[in-house]
Chains A and B, each alone.
Chain A
Amino acid sequence: AQKVTQAQTEISVVEKEDVTLDCVYETRDTTYYLFWYKQPPSGELVFLIRRNSFDEQNEISGRYSWNFQKSTSSFNFTITASQVVDSAVYFCALSEGEALTGGGNKLTFGTGTQLKVEL
């Protein structure tokens, strides 16, 4: 069974600080996908990144970066120079890739990390 753990329930930082959100996953599949979603106070889910299990390259997109390490089953997310607009709940999610039946592309979500960025 797949599982995603986000051990940090809530993080508070001061604007311009760097912050890393941790994500640890469990799966028996060799092919899988990892995701990060942002949920601002308005409630919608905003897709941030998808990474497949065969691509361990770290990715940077502006102030956002992701560190994928299969050896530790982690997919951590770093925001550099945080801003108040980054305040949101962030979800890490896992989808197993090769099964053609069951789950319907099911995403297994972590419990989320509430990030508060203060002035």
Chain B
Amino acid sequence: EAQVTQNPRYLITVTGKKLTVTCSQNMNHEYMSWYRQDPGLGLRQIYYSMNVEVTDKGDVPEGYKVSRKEKRNFPLILESPSPNQTSLYFCASSKRRDSTHNEQFFGPGTRLTVL
């Protein structure tokens, strides 16, 4: 089954304790992204990757890191989480952009609370 998986689904942590949210897709997609969802703000892109070893900042990258060492995985790293990073996080993947395929597949979401 084609899917994007994220782990963990729920996480409560404390300020400053490093954490990683994993994301994996089995569709051989080139593009992967991370979004965060906050009330009244919709979803905003944090980081994206166009292929292995190619990553770039989205609209709200402060406080986050990513890596893309393998095509299928795109972990989101919070080196020193702060309460303002409490949010619902979504990983997404899609094929290389062309004229017919521009659909993003979303993971189930990770609800993060930073105390």
B102 within 8 Å of A (CB atoms)? yes
Please give the number of chain A residues whose Cβ is less than 8 angstroms from any Cβ of chain B in the complex.
27
A-B CB pair tally, cutoff 8 Å: 68
Q: Mark A65-95, 1 if CB is under 8 A from B, else 0.
A: 0000000000000000000000000010101
A119 interface hit (Cβ, 8 Å): no
- Which of A12-20, A56-64, A98-106 lies at the interface? A98-106
Q: When each residue 36-65 of chain B gets 1 if its CB lies under 8 Å from chain A and 0 otherwise, what string results?
A: 000011111100111000001010000000
Closest to B97 in A: A105
Question: Which of B11-19, B20-28, B105-113 touches A?
Answer: B105-113
The secondary structure that dominates the A interface is: loop
Q: Give how many B residues have a beta carbon under 8 Å from the other chain's beta carbons.
A: 28
* B32 A110 Cβ-Cβ under 8 A: no
A104-B33, A104-B56, A111-B42 known; A50+B49 contact, CB < 8 A: no
Interface residues of A (CB under 8 A from B): 4, 6, 9, 33, 35, 43-45, 47, 50, 52, 91, 93, 95, 97, 100-107, 109-112
